[in-house]
Structure 1
Amino acid sequence: MPTDGSPIVDAAVLAGRFGLTPDLLLDHLRRGFVRSRVEIGAGDDAGKRRLSVRIGNRVWIAIVNENGCVLSEEMQYSGMAPGGGLG
């Protein structure tokens, strides 16, 4: 992790989670199609970070430790809810 505590995810690893090439992921980043959030753990989760990366209707969520190692991960999909609203 950099000195500010923000985790770094290799572009090839992140691209693979979304079924993209690293070049296509970087293109999506340049175009503003990628949104991300980092949440800092407290209490029992101190030293951990939850990363959420959204591209389109997919969100990759990972829990990483202070060394940047992925402890768990999942891919979530959002879409239309019954009745036509966003889910």
Structure 2
Amino acid sequence: MSEDFADRTSLFGLQTDGSPVVDAAVLAGRFGLTPDLLLDHLRRGFVRSKVEIGTGDDAGTRRLSVRIGNRIWIAIVDEDGCVLSEEMQFSGMAPGGERG
């Protein structure tokens, strides 16, 4: 499930060092969780995340990957933190939804 946004409203803030900061309510919504449950998962170490900085043709973008359980939310954001695309993947699943 991949989605492009015509409305490029920033869902993310940037720290002073340029790192993206995702609002807990926004991220919780992507996983169908309440912000409190997301924060509980964070405290328990159940949330893994990674930020990759685009180079070459992807310069000026970042790929944010957040994993909770078997779900991985991936968003491509521009320099202003506006979402260019996002998708939810499921680990252990091959393309087309078949078990891999």
Scaled by the length of structure 2, what TM-score is found?
0.77
1:61 to 74, 94, 100: 74
Greater fraction of residues in strand: 2
Q: Is 1:52 matched up with 2:65?
A: yes
Query: Which residue in the other structure is 1:74 paired with?
Result: 87
Moved segments of 4+, more than 4 Å: none
| CA displacement at 1:79 relative to structure 2 | 2.7
Give the root-mean-square deviation of aligned CA atoms. 1.6
Work out the CA distance in 2 between the residues paired with 1:80 and 1:60: 14
SS at match of 2:40: helix
**What is the identity percentage for the equivalent residue pairs of Structure 1 and Structure 2?**
87
What residue ranges of structure 2 are gaps of 5+ in the alignment? 1-13
Q: Is 1:33 matched up with 2:46?
A: yes
Scaled by the length of structure 1, what TM-score is found?
0.88
What residue ranges of structure 1 are gaps of 5+ in the alignment? none
